[in-house]
Each structure stands twice: as C-alpha cells, then as structure tokens.
C-alpha cells in the first residue's frame, strides 16, 4: 500500500461545476497537507497548505483535512477551463523535505 | 531571473551515458530540492540542500545518482550510466528558509529520455 493514495482520474467536468479532489494516507504522523497544481509541461505550484485538521478557504478553493479518517480534500467552486491541470496532494510529518506526494489527479473543465 | 530555472528542458541520451541536469534557484533561497516525476507517479524525493549543511541524500535511488550545489546557489544532478528506468521529469525547487516546501517554488523540469 502506498503511503499516499490519489485517484489519477482523469476527471472531466463542465464549466461551473464543483470539483472534489481527494487523497487518503496511512501515516498518522502527517501534520502538513498541501495541494499543488501542475499545468502540462510545467512544474507544480503550491495552491494551499493546511496544518493539522480543519478547513482552509482561498477564493474558489477550499482544503479540508480529516485526520481521524486520514482523508484530505480539495474543493473547487465555479470551476473554469483554466483550472484544467493535474492536482497533486502532498503531506509531511514536519515542515521539511520529507514530503510524500500523491500520483496526481488530472482534471479537465470543459467550456 | 525571477523563478527557478532548469536546463536543459529536454534531454535524450543513450543508455549507459552520463547526464548532467542543472538547476538555478531563486536568488537568496537557501534550500534546494530535487524530485523525480515518472509518468503516472507522484513526485519522488531525491536530495535536499539547506545552506551549508550536509545534504540529505536519503532519496537518491542508487549510487549512479549524485548532486552538488556550488556556492550555495546552482545545483547539478548527475546520473551516471543511465538506464531506461531513469527516464522521467526531474524537478528542482528552491525555498527561502527553513519552512520547507510550504514556501518552495518549482522549476519547469528537465524531461529525460533514455533510449
């Protein structure tokens, strides 16, 4: 079993839809949880990060962490074609280099 | 430049040859990371440099892989006697301090193909 599991998709939604992206993990010591967006042929860019449990909102994006279920989510409201990318979750025990990434979910938002 | 720069963007090499991949971090960033991204896989940690401290090499997959960082700035990842399984995108990231990847910026990557 991988330490971080993420459904690779692909996921296709119509413009304006609410998108839900998820990851599960097995290491209960993870404390930092991140979401990256990666456009084709580009490096990943950090969207949001959350420390420990709870929700965090930034514009159309909401990150949720449920440590009891070892489950994290990223919600995108009013999705746009420009949101089409691969979304990677990542997590670590501490704020350092030892970070584990999911395989990434490829999202397409159709106009 | 304003961002992390990696060169070359693409590299095709024959099996058994050595390759060098270069990373120019953002000026002033003390932390530098190398990751590998294979098709359909998440990012795999390779090596981490922080200031003048000894690098964390725990992610290097074999002794064919090595990296150095000169003058606390530019880094070179070297793969000796390349194998087909080394084909991947190699990503470099830099961060301004001790706050890890929560403050890191990635380069566009070097796509390595071993034929």
Q: Integer distance in angstroms from the first to the last C-alpha of chain B?
A: 33
**3-state SS assignment for residue B82:** coil
**Amino acid B64: pLDDT:** 98
Q: Does the pLDDT of residue A34 top 70, yes or no?
A: yes
Contacts of A40 in chain B (CB under 8 A): none
Tokens describing residue A58:
């930034």
Contact A44 B45 (CB under 8 A): no
Q: What confidence tier does B36 reach under pLDDT thresholds 50, 70, 90?
A: very high
Range name among A19-23, B32-36, B37-41, B104-108 with the lowest pLDDT average: B37-41
Contact A43 B4 (CB under 8 A): yes
Q: What is the pLDDT of residues B48-100, one digit of tens each?
A: 998 888 898 989 999 999 999 988 799 999 999 999 999 999 999 998 866 66
Q: Distance between CA atoms of B45 and B100, rounded to whole angstroms? A: 13
Tokens describing residue A10:
């692909």
Tokens describing residue B78:
């070297």
Q: What is the pLDDT of residues A40-74, one digit of tens each?
A: 989 999 999 888 888 999 999 999 999 999 999 99
* Strands B5-7 vs B19-24: parallel, antiparallel or unpaired: antiparallel
Instruction: State whether residue A31 sits within 8 Å of chain B by CB.
Output: no
- Max mean pLDDT among A7-11, B12-16, B69-73, B102-106 falls in B12-16
More confident residue, B51 or A96: B51
Q: What confidence tier does A96 reach under pLDDT thresholds 50, 70, 90?
A: low
> From the list A43, A46, A96, which residue is nearest B91 (CB)?
A43
Q: Does the pLDDT of residue B1 top 60, yes or no?
A: no
Mean of the per-residue pLDDT values of chain B: 91
Q: What confidence tier does A99 reach under pLDDT thresholds 50, 70, 90?
A: confident
* Secondary structure tally for chain A: helices H, strands E: 0, 11
């Amino acid at each position: 079993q991988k330490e971080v599991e993420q459904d690779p998709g692909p996921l296709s939604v119509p413009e304006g839809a609410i998108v839900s992206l998820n990851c599960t993990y097995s290491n209960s010591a993870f404390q930092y949880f991140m979401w990256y967006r990666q456009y084709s042929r580009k490096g990943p860019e950090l969207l949001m990060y959350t420390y420990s449990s709870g929700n965090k909102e930034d514009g159309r994006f909401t990150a949720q962490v449920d440590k009891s279920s070892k489950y994290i989510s990223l919600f995108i409201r009013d999705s746009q074609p420009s949101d089409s990318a691969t979304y990677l979750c990542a997590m670590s025990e501490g704020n350092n280099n030892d970070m584990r990434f999911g395989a990434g979910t490829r999202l397409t938002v159709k106009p | 430049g304003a961002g992390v720069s990696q060169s070359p963007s693409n590299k095709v090499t024959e099996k058994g040859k050595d390759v060098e991949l270069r990373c120019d971090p953002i000026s002033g960033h003390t932390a530098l990371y190398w990751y590998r991204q294979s098709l359909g896989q998440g990012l795999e940690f390779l090596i981490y440099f922080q200031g003048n401290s000894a690098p964390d090499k725990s992610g290097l997959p074999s002794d064919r892989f090595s990296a150095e960082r000169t003058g606390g700035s530019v880094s070179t990842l070297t793969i000796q006697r390349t194998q087909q399984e080394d084909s991947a995108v190699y990503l470099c990231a830099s961060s301004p301090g001790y706050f890890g990847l929560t403050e890191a910026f990635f380069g566009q990557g070097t796509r390595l193909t071993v034929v």
